Amino acid sequence: MTSALLYDRLQFAFTATFHYLFPQLTMGLALLLFYLRSRALATDDDHYQQVSDFWTSIFALNFGFGVVTGIPLEFQFGTNWARFSTFAGGVIGQTLAMEGVFAFFLESSFLGILLFRKRFSRRLQWFAALMLFVGSWLSGYFILATNAWMQHPVAYHVGDDGRVFVNSLTGLLTNPWLFWQFAHNMTAAVVTASCVIAAVGAYYLLSGQHLPHAKTFLQTGVVAGAIASALMIFPTGHGNAKQVFEHQPVKGAAFEGLFTTERGAGLYLVGQPNLETMTIDNPIEIPNALSFLVYKDLYAKVKGLDAFPRDEWPDNLPLLYYAYHVMAGLGTIFAAIFGLALLSLWRDRLFNMKWLLWLLMLSAPFPYIATSAGWMTAELGRQPWLVYGLLRTAHGTSPLVHSGNALFTLIGFLGLYLLLGLLFVFLLGKTIGRGPGSIDSQTTYPA
């Protein structure tokens, strides 16, 4: 039973993390694609049409992988987490069903139009892009509403049999936790998409192909990336951290590596948590910074891990600490790179600055690492709870699915997703190699 719990957790963590590599680009790209299609419609020239078509084909490829890896997540609530589903279905069933009905249908219906766009007018293509944007962001909203409830349960009551039920749908959908979480997550998705667009632009420019398209990619990616990566840190990142310290102080103490309660607590930039001595080894610390960031007071008291019973600590402290620091560190680096790129773009120098183009090109994988680390922070930090304060993770599994079954399917997913990853990278490389303009955008039929 205990080992089944581990496999259940690993399987969900792995399939969810792998899945989220795709929708983060989908959601960010949906916004930028809508912008590009709007330009194509407004300028009525083939340049923006070609740019849009190129990113539509990458969007579609990415969306396809997102769909097939997304279905297992909804199923796993039932297959591996049956007691959790029984316990919390009365609440999260609402948001998950709303996601299906309001968002997923919208996305997949209108993607068909964009894929087979040759038949349709530019106006209809633009409309389909708008619907994809609305659908994918709504989808993100409902999924995050589900997660926000697990982080910070609101608008529920406990029934006679110990299960929980929603008692205000509006309360569930306007969970205060959700606001910062959604803002932070969606700006992160825009950072990922901006980074990818800018990186492909930088690649074309450095290798001397598709120059007009490359410049548009870079302009779009750098401007959107600079705005989004600034918003990542402030106010959305800050807002998230503040609400963690307010509602989940033990998670905050754990990811900051604050073992003991302190007045004027410092902020560790680097250092390794040592569970033997309960200290941070080799720290580089900004004195008083944590107290100031959380309470706007250099000498405020911040609760450390010692303020909480041991069985309420997140069960993997070092991993949580590193995940958080990887996320925060990368976020800062993105802001610096994009800031620099925006400045160079504004002063008309970016297209000649080889080293910065190289940097932009190589930065493409890192937003994926940052978002994965960010979600690890959120989810590992929620442990040992599945629903914060209400249901422990160990009490949420399926009682009759034994460890052998769970391990078998976990290994199956590992193998299958390795194949998926290889296929995706191969086909993405092919699409980028073919380049914009090769996708026939001239033959649009009037609708």
Partner 1 sequence: METLWFIVVTLMLAIFIILDGFDFGVGMVYPFVVRTEMERRTVLASIGPLWNANEVWLIAAGAVLFFAYPKAYAAGFSGFYLALILVLWLLIFRGLALELRSHVDHVLWKQAWDTAFTTASLLLAFVFGAALGNLIRGVPLNRDGYFFVPFWTDFQPGPEPGILDWFTVLLGLTTVSILAFHGANYLVMKTEGALYKRAVSTAWVMGWASAGCTVLTVTAVPFVQPSLRLNFAGHPMEYLVPLSGLFALGSSLYLRQRQRDTAAFLISSVFILLMLASVMFGMYPYILVSTTDPALSLTVFNAATDSYGLTTGFTWFGIGFMLVLAYQIYVYSLFWGKTRSDDAH
Kindly state the smallest distance separating residue 243's Cβ from partner 1, in Å: 27
Kindly state the smallest distance separating residue 408's Cβ from partner 1, in Å: 8
- Of positions 159, 212, 318, 384, contacts partner 1 by CB under 8 A: 159
The secondary structure of 302-350 as a DSSP string is E--GGGS-GGGS-S-HHHHHHHHHHHHHHHHHHHHHHHHHHHHHHTT-G
Is 118 one of the binding residues for partner 1 (CB under 8 A)? yes
- Of positions 105, 234, 299, 346, contacts partner 1 by CB under 8 A: 105
Q: Which residues pair with 268 in a beta bridge?
A: 285
Is 74 one of the binding residues for partner 1 (CB under 8 A)? yes
Is 100 one of the binding residues for partner 1 (CB under 8 A)? yes
Q: Which stretch in 181-189, 308-316, 324-332, 422-430 sits in contact with partner 1 by CB under 8 A?
A: 422-430
Calculate the alpha carbon distances from 232 to 78, 138, 239, 289, 318 in Å: 34, 20, 10, 19, 24
Longest dimension (CA), the chain: 72
- Of positions 30, 33, 51, 106, contacts partner 1 by CB under 8 A: 106
- Of positions 13, 115, 154, 414, contacts partner 1 by CB under 8 A: 115
Contact 13, 377 (CB under 8 A): no
Whether the bond between 384 and the residue before it is cis, its omega within 30 degrees of 0, is yes
Q: What are phi and psi of 372, to 5 degrees?
A: -65, -45
- Of positions 17, 64, 121, 329, contacts partner 1 by CB under 8 A: 64
Kindly state the smallest distance separating residue 435's Cβ from partner 1, in Å: 15
Is 134 one of the binding residues for partner 1 (CB under 8 A)? no
* Count of positions (residues) in the chain: 447
Spell out the residues 6+ positions from residue 63 whose beta carbon is closer than 8 angstroms to its own.
22, 26, 107, 111
Is 158 one of the binding residues for partner 1 (CB under 8 A)? no
Q: Which is nearer to partner 1, 93 or 271 (CB)?
A: 93
Is 214 one of the binding residues for partner 1 (CB under 8 A)? no
Is 30 one of the binding residues for partner 1 (CB under 8 A)? no
Is 425 one of the binding residues for partner 1 (CB under 8 A)? no
- Of positions 6, 112, 349, 422, contacts partner 1 by CB under 8 A: 112
Contact 291, 297 (CB under 8 A): yes
Q: What are 94's two structure tokens?
A: 């609402």
Helices 46-79, 2-43: inter-axial angle, 10-degree rounding: 160
- Of positions 77, 177, 204, 259, contacts partner 1 by CB under 8 A: 77
Q: How far apart are the C-alpha atoms of 402 and 397, rounded to whole Å? A: 10
- Of positions 6, 42, 158, 169, contacts partner 1 by CB under 8 A: 169
Is 399 one of the binding residues for partner 1 (CB under 8 A)? yes
Q: What are 217's two structure tokens?
A: 């990619």
Sign of CA dihedral 160, 162, 165, 171: positive
Q: Which is nearer to partner 1, 116 or 355 (CB)?
A: 116
Q: How far apart are the C-alpha atoms of 223 and 205, rounded to whole Å? A: 17
Is 422 one of the binding residues for partner 1 (CB under 8 A)? no
Is 98 one of the binding residues for partner 1 (CB under 8 A)? yes
Interface with partner 1 (CB under 8 A): 60-61, 64, 67-69, 71-72, 74-75, 77-80, 82-83, 85-86, 88-90, 93-94, 96-102, 104-106, 108-113, 115-120, 159, 163, 165-167, 169, 398-401, 405, 409, 412, 416, 420, 423, 427, 430-431, 447
